[in-house]
Amino acid sequence: MIKAILIFNNHGKPRLSKFYQPYDTQQQIIRETFHLVSKRDENVCNFLEGGLLIGGSDNKLIYRHYATLYFVFCVDSSESELGILDLIQVFVETLDKCFENVCELDLIFHVDKVHNILAEMVMGGMVLETNMNEIVTQIDAQNKLEKSETFIFQSPRQDR
């Protein structure tokens, strides 16, 4: 199971937080995770133990660092470490496809869209789809549906 997915930038500003289990301490968890992850060098391994708040020795943080952003998945032992690393890669590549050359600004202003993309990959903490083409197809179809519903009350800025 995936317990949480966090995206934050190099300064610890959250860009996306998705908890698949209820935690009262979401903000502390984000801070702690940032603290743990950010002090690591670039060329060390992408696995990390010892996130205390998120609980349990069974849990691991698996993260990737892209330019200004950290993508962190907190998972338990039922997930394959390398598999999750690949999943992060798929996630980022999908974002790249949907936003066309994704950068931090896209995530800042369109966090709802990022959520929608993520929802096609991970559902309730379990991996739903790993095939990027399939994900993109579904996202496109939903955007189309949204567009067909859009008329006057949608400001044009919202569409990208």
Partner 1 sequence: MALKMVKGSIDRMFDKNLQDLVRGIRNHKEDEAKYISQCIDEIKQELKQDNIAVKANAVCKLTYLQMLGYDISWAAFNIIEVMSASKFTFKRIGYLAASQCFHEGTDVIMLTTNQIRKDLSSPSQYDTGVALTGLSCFVTPDLARDLANDIMTLMSHTKPYIRKKAVLIMYKVFLKYPESLRPAFPRLKEKLEDPDPGVQSAAVNVICELARRNPKNYLSLAPLFFKLMTSSTNNWVLIKIIKLFGALTPLEPRLGKKLIEPLTNLIHSTSAMSLLYECVNTVIAVLISLSSGMPNHSASIQLCVQKLRILIEDSDQNLKYLGLLAMSKILRTHPKSVQAHKDLVLQCLDDKDESIRLRALDLLYGMVSKKNLVEIVKKLMSHVDKAEGTTYRDELLTKIIDICSQCNYQHITNFQWYISVLVELTRLEGTRHGHLIAAQMLDVAIRVKAIRKFAVSQMSALLDSAHLVASSTQRNGICEVLYAAAWICGEFSEHLQEPHQTLEAMLRPKVTTLPGHIQAVYVQNVVKLYASILQQKEQAAEPEAAQEVTQLMVDRLPQFVQSADLEVQERASCILQLVKHIQKLQAKDVPVAEEVSALFAGELNPVAPKAQKKVPVPEGLDLDAWINEPPSDSESEDEKPKAIFHDEEQRQAKQRQPEADEEELARRREARKQEQANNPFYIKSSPSPQKRYQDVPGVEHIPVVQIDLSVPLKVPGMPMSDQYVKLEEERRHRQRLERDKKRKKKKDKDKKGKPRRHGSLHTESDDDLAPAQQVDIVTEEMPENALPSDEDDKDPNDPYRALDIDLDKPLADSEKLPVQKHRNAETSKSPEKEDVPVVEKKVKKPKKKDKKHREKEREKKEKGKEARVEKEGEDLDFWLSTTPLPAAAPAPEEPGVNAVITAPKEEDEEPQREEQGDEEDDEDNERDPEKKSSKHKKKKHKKEKEERSKDKKKSKKKKPPGDEAAEPVENGALDEEPLPVRAHVQLLPPGREFLH
Residues found near partner 1 in the complex (CB under 8 A): 1, 14, 16-18, 20, 22, 26-27, 40-41, 43-50, 78, 80-83, 85-86, 90, 108-112, 115-116, 119, 123-134, 138, 141-142, 145-146, 149-150, 152-155, 157-158
- Nearest distance in Å: CB 68, partner 1: 15
Q: Look up residue 125 and give its two tokens.
A: 């903490």
CB atoms within 10 A of CB 6: 24
Q: How far is CA 76 from the centre of its chain?
A: 16
Helices 132-149, 81-99: axis angle to 10 degrees equals 40
Please answer whether residues 62 and 40 qualify as being in contact, where contact means their C-beta atoms are separated by less than 8 angstroms: no
- Nearest distance in Å: CB 43, partner 1: 7
Closer by beta carbon to partner 1, 41 or else 100: 41
Measured torsion, CA atoms of residues 86, 3, 54, 33, in degrees rounded to the nearest 10: 40
Q: Identity (one letter) of the amino acid at 147?
A: K
Closer by beta carbon to partner 1, 14 or else 55: 14
Please answer whether residues 51 and 23 qualify as being in contact, where contact means their C-beta atoms are separated by less than 8 angstroms: no
- Nearest distance in Å: CB 20, partner 1: 7
- Nearest distance in Å: CB 40, partner 1: 8
Closer by beta carbon to partner 1, 25 or else 67: 25
